Structure 1
Amino acid sequence: MSLQRSSVMITSKSTTNRLMMAAPNTHDGMAATDEEELVASAVVYPGSTEEVQKIVHWANKHVIPLHPISMGRNFGYGGAAPWVRGAVVVDLGKRMNRILDINPEDCTCLVEPGVSYYALYEEIQRRGYKHLWIDVPDLGGGSVLGNALDHGVGYTPYGDHWAMHSGLEVVTPTGEVVRTGMGALPGNNTWQVFPYGFGPVIEHVWPRDSDILLNMGCSDVSSSGKKRIWSSWWRSIVRPLRIAIILDNAANIRHALQVLALSGAPRTAFYQGEGPFPPEKMSEYLRDHPYGDCTWLYFGTCYGPSEVRKWKLEPIHREFMKVPVARRIDPATLPPSDYFWSRDRTSSGEPDLEELAWVNWWPNGGHIAFSPVAPTRGADALRLWQLAKKHWAASGLDFFPSTLWLGFANCI
């Protein structure tokens, strides 16, 4: 068996900076250095497990590095750029983009690498499974499988995407096919509901490794249909509420300057001066915003029937109000265009792209993501903030910390 010529593309076009839904598959569409420093020599588009095996055998024979991608839309972390210049990109997403199964009773699905969050969401809606949600990241145009492999996160209680997968089909660097967990047993019906098998658990060797992942099972969120999203100022009170699962979701903290940037307006609409954006100028604009003058915003969500949400919101409100300057923001005061409603959508399993609005802050904007990890302790969060502020000041850039994502005992 050989690949058709139409399934192979030699890289010859100039690199361009493209949008989320038309990301390049040969390089990083938001490169901070020379765009051709890490660029593929060719792209191959397999359509099956057997074709992937054929590509791997060919690469081994000719000692050619391969760089598999799902859809290449992990902006901020290199996109589709290969680790080795001139490598052949194996673009799994173009032809291997089927939703193999959605089980409305078990709340699971089985997808190929080219299935985006939008595609999975739209198929669930088309089938009428109103009780099913998916957990989506900030940007819904990327691959479900690829996001999990990159340890991506979302904003429902299922926010740790890698932890929510169950079952992989993998082509190893030598061309063998491995099915993990219960998928190793032919005809088994528990591949997507039980992530383990009878032997050792080996799946954690695969994220960011040299194998090629072709199929992944994952859990969908069974929705009660009820949630309550809210935003507030934040201090070192989140950790005990998250560990006790009173705060339900993997919520995040935003610097207030992003309130301005997420409007999609350029920086010049707010400030035309030299140097970093002055804090007093930010306060001036925020005084007229429904959020009011603030520095940090915490977005969180509670889920469940009304009596459960009421029970959880009472201690949450009580703890946050211990901070003298904290206040809770009523969603009814926010216009439909406010970024709050983007958080509302992602917290409800609906894909969204509004997160990219802040790249318009500078002309031809892009972003590089740097994601340090710390415990969810106030002292550790303060150290991260001070470190970031120091380097921002040294570079002369606007102090623009993006997202502090809160797990049970860690923040990113």
Structure 2
Amino acid sequence: MTSTDDRPDTAAHTSGDLETALARWREALGPEHVITDDESLADFADPYAPASFGYRAKVVVQPGSVEDVQAVVRIASETGVPIWTSSQGRNYGYGGSAPLDPDTVVVNLRRMNRVLEINEELAYVVVEPGVSFRELYDAVQASGKKLWVDVPDLSWGSVVGNTLEHGNGFTLYYDHAAAECGMEVVLADGSVVRTGTGAMSGSKTWHLSKRGFGPRTDSLFMQSNMGIVTKMGVWVMPQPDAYKDCQIKVRRDSDLEALVEAFRPFLVDGTVGNCPILFPALTALPNGLPRSAVWDKKSSVPRELAEGMMWEAARIGAWNIRFALYGDRQTVERDFERISAAFASIPDAEVTGNTIDPAEAKLDSPALADQKSRVMAGVPDLSMLQVLNWHGTNGGHISFASTVPLKGEDVRNIVELVSTREAEHGIDYTVGIMLYQRFAIHVALMLYNVGNEPQVKEVYELYRDLVVEAAEMGYGEYRAHPAFMDLVAEQFDHNDHSHMAMVEKIKDALDPAGILAPGKQGIWPARLRTAEKQAK
């Protein structure tokens, strides 16, 4: 079995002059923005990894402006000290702020927290990387403009950071990478570039048109280590005339394929325009209950037990889909009737809907009954954190997130692979399957007690096995914790990894000193590439 830590020797990463860099950063940013004390640094560790795993920073610097970022990057380049960027640093389940190498300095952008523009007429906002989803929501509400901000399940994260990691929410603008329009980026040499039509001075369409003249380069700065994004335009959703929170439930596990097949046409043709979530009964169990109240054995919770409990307690089916309909009221009701009729052929299937006045879609509104009704209306929420209590008060997780075709057969394949392999290790199968227009992302929350290091190691080792096993079935991961970035990248192996070879050429051109986030997404600079491969 592969070790939980197969990172290259950290000495190879930190050949730079750290003491000189620290002195210069203190002078450039102010000493209070160069963090080296253990108490403050704890906020930038991976809270879901045991301390012995080493996913924590030893130094954090916090620039407050674009000019500060330029200074940080130039000093890093001149001293040879590698840096790892985080926005809010709340990307928990995927490592948070923690760098791949603990000797890499974290550049955290929380101080850059301005909402620069809210445009109601053209429905977009412009934000800095330190702005969280909750902060953007509050700013839009304070402005009085009738716009909905798309939010993920947890609203404490950065709008920019989540977008750069291909995160998603649940309204019509759920695909955050697709909703991005126009970036400002600081490159490794400290120069500033603007993407799209922002490359033209005085452009009036920077955050309106995604295409400029020539190649579109925005994606180069997503899930990569090519530059540091300091501003971003994001398209948001005008408040609709009507909002209907809908659910589909089937009583039998064997109905999963039929459920997916019946629902897919409404995604492909755009009838359902948001990002629905497909989940089994067991996924709902940890929301408020400790595992000890459900199952006192080391083996995984039986599927039949979870199905019986959740049907009796909350009429949650063996498999369930939550989705939303938006638009004018007549169209919403007509679409709901069409969708309901499509499930008449599945015995005991239930399709229900709750029409909510969009004007009531606000924080603490009684009209929004639960977490999903809130996030599908763009209302921030943190209640899903309670799932971490499943294994006690020191809970954590990593997310195993595979992309599969939106077909019943493929959804069943990934469900059976992950649930069967987890059961072999006594891990409970808690999953949310995000339904995009033509594919799905199977996000398995692999829950554990952070204080139980053997349990965490077992989860990490299973994760490694699953990455390879899923790839053999044609299913790749869309996102990964730093511990697994190299392994995930290795699975994208067409033509002897020709795509990675191309990306490495771009990396070497933009960052010849190799100081920006070495190893992120499996992308290593030339100076470390040979050593990294030898270490593996």
**Distance change in 2, residues 1:139/1:35 (3 Å):** farther
Q: 1:227 aligns with which of 243, 249, 259?
A: 243
Identity across aligned pairs (percent)?
Answer: 34
Q: Number of paired residues?
A: 395
Do 1:28 and 1:35's aligned partners in 2 also have CA atoms closer than 8 Å?
no
CA deviations over 1:75-106 (Å, ceiling 9, x no partner)? 1111111022211110111x100001111111
2:146 is aligned with 1:146: no
2:36 is aligned with 1:10: yes
Distance 1:209 1:113 in 2: 16
Q: 1:253 maps to what in 2?
A: 278
Do 1:235 and 1:323's aligned partners in 2 also have CA atoms closer than 8 Å?
no
How far residue 2 of structure 1 moved from its aligned partner, in angstroms, is: 1.9
2:305 is aligned with 1:281: yes
Distance 2:338 2:175 in 1: 25
How far residue 151 of structure 1 moved from its aligned partner, in angstroms, is: 0.1
**Distance change in 2, residues 1:92/1:287 (3 Å):** closer
Aligned CA-pair RMSD: 2.0
2:321 is aligned with 1:308: no
Do 1:258 and 1:358's aligned partners in 2 also have CA atoms closer than 8 Å?
no
Structure 2 gaps of 5+ residues are 1-26, 250-258, 356-364, 442-536
- After superposing the two structures, state which structure 1 stretch, 235-244 or 305-314, moved more: 235-244
User: What residue identity is the alignment partner of 2:378?
Assistant: G
Do 2:90 and 2:156's aligned partners in 1 also have CA atoms closer than 8 Å?
yes
**Distance change in 2, residues 1:98/1:330 (3 Å):** closer
**Distance change in 2, residues 1:111/1:249 (3 Å):** same
Do 1:138 and 1:346's aligned partners in 2 also have CA atoms closer than 8 Å?
yes
Q: 2:265 maps to what in 1?
A: 240
TM score, norm. by length of structure 1: 0.91
Alignment of 1:81-96 (within 5 A): 81-93=98-110, 95-96=111-112
2:382 is aligned with 1:358: no
Q: 2:295 maps to what in 1?
A: 271
2:189 is aligned with 1:174: yes
Distance 1:103 1:280 in 2: 50
Q: 2:370 aligns with which of 341, 345, 348?
A: 341
Distance 2:198 2:218 in 1: 12
Q: Which has the higher helix share?
A: 2
- Once superposed, which parts of structure 1, at least 4 consecutive aligned residues long, lie more than 3 Å away? 13-16, 33-36, 329-332, 336-340
TM score, norm. by length of structure 2: 0.71
Do 1:100 and 1:112's aligned partners in 2 also have CA atoms closer than 8 Å?
yes
2:418 is aligned with 1:395: no
Q: 1:20 maps to what in 2?
A: none
Distance 1:249 1:304 in 2: 12
Do 1:38 and 1:86's aligned partners in 2 also have CA atoms closer than 8 Å?
no
Q: 2:217 maps to what in 1?
A: 202
How far residue 36 of structure 1 moved from its aligned partner, in angstroms, is: 5.1
Please state whether the residue corresponding to 1:2 is helix, strand or coil: helix
User: What residue identity is the alignment partner of 1:347?
Assistant: M
- After superposing the two structures, state which structure 1 stretch, 190-199 or 5-14, moved more: 5-14
Q: 1:404 maps to what in 2?
A: 433
